[in-house]
Amino acid sequence: MVEQKSLLVDIEDGHKLHLRYIAKPGSIGPVVFFMHGAVENGKIFYTESNKGLAPFLAEHGYRCFVGDLRGRGGSTPKIDSEATYGQTESILYEIPEMLNFIEQYTGSRAQYWVGHSWGGVLMNSVFARFPSEIQHVKACVYFGSKRSLYNNHPSKLLKANLLWFNVAHYYSKKYGYLPAKKLGWGSDDESLKSHAQSADWAQKNPWIDSDDGFDYSSVLQHIMLPPTLHIAGVKDKALAQPIDIKAFISESGNGIQELKIYGKTHGHQHNYGHIDMLTHKHARDDQFKDLLAWFDRFAVGGASSQ
């Protein structure tokens, strides 16, 4: 039996960050931290009826903490035109606050990290800013994570070049934030700053922070990240093709990084896309099973395990 409960992390100005804790009662298993991507929230990893990756891992004894960035999902207050924070604050403040809370709650630092889409970029950015965190993390798995988009598929030209890089700026300026949920572009909204910063990085610009000039890529070239499995879907044509993920791998420095592509031509049960690589019923027997094997492979040591 897997149980869920919501935990709230108090931060500045009355804001609260939401963490969904998913585990078997009394579990003392390894701790996993999950981070969603842009125009999303943590529910990409779970349903309240215990479907999805986090409940799957909980069934196998892991203690799962699924984060919602500020203003998304169960975090309060919601993003509106008064929201001045962006991805710099997510990297420097929100994710570290979640990790500190998890350690206080469990007595253990999160040993495994899982990201979807832009969540993987934020996680590697945290490693660059806080390299001491790497020693605690045995392995990472990123689903459809890329930083800059290099592919030229027609759906990418529509979703990224036209909508994310252009039309979205019109709506952000009109409303003071990006009402992505209302527009049908995602499951949650983005602040004006978070959209501007993520759109800048996705356009093959340098991996440099617009707030303070911190050069993430330069730092990552000189440190070894935890072993990372990158998962791509054959139907993910717009947002994370192998060419995009390989570029992200290249600029994420040294260490063990592997890319696996999921679809029927690769022996899997479904041709996975950007979202259903985490939500499809067959994912349990394809990429979820491989994620377990990846965690098991590096369970003994930390980032230096072979």
pLDDT at 301: 53
pLDDT at 303: 41
- How far from 209 is each of 194, 212, 215, 245, 268, CA to CA, in Å? 12, 6, 7, 20, 38
User: Rounded to an integer, what distance in angstroms lies between the CA atom of residue 261 and that of residue 143?
Assistant: 10
Q: Determine if residue 26 is left, alpha or beta; phi over 0 gives left, psi from -120 to 50 gives alpha, anything else beta.
A: left
Q: For residues 225 and 256, is the Cβ–Cβ distance under 8 A?
A: no
User: Rounded to an integer, what distance in angstroms lies between the CA atom of residue 4 and that of residue 48?
Assistant: 8
pLDDT at 254: 87
pLDDT at 300: 77
pLDDT at 13: 87
pTM: predicted TM-score of the whole model, two decimal places:
0.96
- Tokens 């798995």, located at residue: 141
pLDDT at 261: 98
pLDDT at 184: 95
Strand ordering across the sheet containing 3-10: 3-10, 16-23, 63-68, 31-35, 112-116, 139-143, 228-233, 257-262
- Tokens 């072993």, located at residue: 227
Write out pLDDT tens, residues 215-230. Answer: 999 999 999 999 999 9
**Bridge-based pairing state of the strands 63-68 and 16-23:** antiparallel
**Residue 237: CB partners within 8 Å, gap ≥ 6?**
151, 153, 155, 156
Q: Which H helix or E strand runs over 67? A: strand 63-68
Low-confidence ranges of the chain (pLDDT < 50): 302-306
pLDDT at 125: 98
User: Rounded to an integer, what distance in angstroms lies between the CA atom of residue 44 and that of residue 34?
Assistant: 10
Q: Determine phi and psi for 195, rounding to 5 degrees.
A: -65, -45
Helices (H), the chain: 53-59, 87-89, 95-106, 118-129, 154-156, 168-175, 180-183, 192-202, 216-220, 242-251, 276-279, 287-297
